[in-house]
Structure 1
Amino acid sequence: MESHQPAGGRAAVSRSSLDDLQFFRVVASSETLTAASRELGCSLPVVSKRLSALERRLGVRLVQRGARRLVLTSEGTLYAARVETILGQLRELEDTLTDRSAGLHGTLVIECTLGLGRAHVAPLLGEFAEAHPALHVRLQTSALPLRRREFDVAIHVGTPPDSSLRMRRLARNRRLPCASPSYLARHGTPARVEDLASHDCIVLRENESDYALWRFGDAGHPRHIRVDGSLSSNDGDVVTGWALEGRGVIMRSEWHVRPHLERGELVRVLPHVPTPPADIYALTEDDEHVPRRVSELIDFLAARLPRRLGA
């Protein structure tokens, strides 16, 4: 007996499978199912029900239930990795087939640290999006932008911790120790790097490195000191605000403190001691094919960001 496929059945299956891949990509990159539901724009019960249906279809458990944070099983980890590969190949195919004379289209996901993202990257992305109206641009700011690999471009300050990523320098930068004139008047001005050990140093907890270890010198003569103080934060603006109030010494990017230095609100500490570079990089996956929207965005940022920072 001849079997008849319902009209549009194969297309429906293909669309459903693709939707499942995109759905699980969001789930796998989220810290909790609640976070995934916010990203997907639906309720937590809907996400949980759809995940269960996907697991039944595949016949394996993808996510461990009951954990406070979302934890993938070994099968879930394998599935997530293959999902990334398949969706990446699909994007590559679409870019290859698109006429290069056409305007940029699709979605760009950019990750950046909080302060740089708010102050400088966001305005530049607004200009880029205005010039390419068919492009959907999404900026995600985080104190730990490289913890998850859900981005097309990541803007990173300092040497990237992941050497597998392709990187391009967008602007030169250094971190400078600074304090307010009022703090230095009360506590004295450090004359040597070692003097910082006796000062209130405000620590920025912005990444997973040893944030209380302040580095000086250059590649040939590196120096460092472990600092301490009563105040710390993962928000650079908060840290700078405390310094402006005279509460301690900070180590911040030159792009961030330059306006305060120029207005005399902060004073550079130990100006005779060099600090190592903390340049600003654009990071992408090390793929052979880079979508045109990604390469053109990086070219745009490389041209505009240094001028905006005064670097």
Structure 2
Amino acid sequence: MESIRGRGDRAEAGRSSMDDLWFFQVVASNETLTAASRELGCSLSVVSKRLTALERRLGARLVRRGPRRLALTSEGRRYAARTQTILDQIRELEDSLADRSAELRGTLVVESTIGLGRAHVAPLLGEFAADHPRLHAQLHTSELPLRPHRRAFDVAVHVGAPPDSSLRMRRLAANRRVPCAAPSYLAERGEPAGVEDLAGHNCIVLRENEGDFALWRFGDASGPRHVRVHGHLSSNDGDVVTDWALRGRGVIMRSEWHVAPYLDRGELVRVLPQVPTPAADIYALYGGDEHVPQRVSRFVDHLASGLPRRLAAPGGADVPR
């Protein structure tokens, strides 16, 4: 008969393996080991030693450590993908066993861009967490574009066409990117009469993704138009770009959800209002598996109800629930 100690050793090994799965998901979802160490709440040396020990145990190199960011090897990508699947299945199993009438529990990880995350997703997640005190809610904001292949979230709030059809998606609110400028800038430089005139204006560029951020798009699917803009100011921070525009530094192309309060107050003026711009609607993205945990589906419902209400409020202010 197997000894109690033998069964205990096997149980301990199982817990260690599960901890490794969770640990590597955190590493794989961050750009650097330093960022992973902050999320894990331990030192960089501890993370580095644990990753080395995991690679030694598996007999495979999972990560290439670069001076600026880490890169997953082919083995690391495969391990991260299977790890995510296993962790999702465990959470789904626990959720399916829970009493449907009971309070939500477990961990809900939400990802968003910084601007939308601070202004609207954070308050809505705070409301949801207050209604479900046994739920542990986390919000991760980033200036980087969504990377579905490194999915370490339960729900991602994404502006624009979703990048990965393997994920479920739900449209939360209508949105467009619109060009605008301060009245003081337009008084000095004049208003552009057509899209082509923007090439002669000082356009402030937001470097918010890995695409061609200096190519501003107009029209719709049936008649797309674009213009390459130029200017002496650019940033990867949407709030910085908007502040420059408010100070009369140039023309910006920003999401309606972001600039609507300034347009309502006359601090910014819509440029080329007669020219349509492509939709950049706001979506919730979440797991594509058949079973969606209650904490995920109910939070997506909360977003779908609360986000349009907040965006429609005068000045983008908080509104009562």
**TM-score of the superposition, structure 1-length normalised?**
0.95
SS in 2 for 1:8: helix
Cα RMSD between the aligned structures? 1.7
Aligned to 1:30: 30
Deviation at 1:60, TM superposition (A): 2.5
SS in 2 for 1:194: helix
Q: Distance in 2 between matches of 1:181 and 1:263?
A: 12
SS in 2 for 1:169: strand
Is 1:141 paired with 2:141?
A: yes
Deviation at 1:67, TM superposition (A): 5.5
Aligned to 2:307: 305
Residues 270-297 of structure 1, C-alpha deviation per residue, up to 9 Å, x if partnerless? 1111111111110112111111101000
Out of 69-78 and 232-241, give the one that drifted further. Answer: 69-78
Structure 2, unaligned runs of 5 or more: 314-321
Q: Distance in 1 between matches of 2:160 and 2:75?
A: 35
Rate the CA distance shift 1:248–1:95 in 2: closer, same or farther, 3 A: same
Q: Distance in 1 between matches of 2:67 and 2:307?
A: 42
Q: 1:264 aligns with which of 263, 266, 275?
A: 266
| Alignment: residue pair count | 310
Q: Distance in 2 between matches of 1:61 and 1:120?
A: 40
1:23-62 maps to which residues of 2 (within 5 A)? Answer: 23-62=23-62
1:66-105 maps to which residues of 2 (within 5 A)? Answer: 68-105=68-105
Q: Distance in 1 between matches of 2:75 and 2:156?
A: 28
Structure 1, unaligned runs of 5 or more: none
Is 1:226 paired with 2:228?
A: yes
Supply the AA of the counterpart residue of 1:281: Y
Rate the CA distance shift 1:255–1:5 in 2: closer, same or farther, 3 A: same
Residues 225-277 of structure 1, C-alpha deviation per residue, up to 9 Å, x if partnerless? 11111111111111110011001011111111111111111111111111111
Aligned 8 A contact 2:143 2:236 in 1: yes
Percent identity of the aligned residues? Answer: 75
Out of 171-180 and 69-78, give the one that drifted further. Answer: 69-78
Q: Distance in 2 between matches of 1:5 and 1:52?
A: 31
SS in 1 for 2:139: strand
Q: Distance in 2 between matches of 1:141 and 1:232?
A: 21
Deviation at 1:45, TM superposition (A): 2.0
Aligned to 1:190: 192
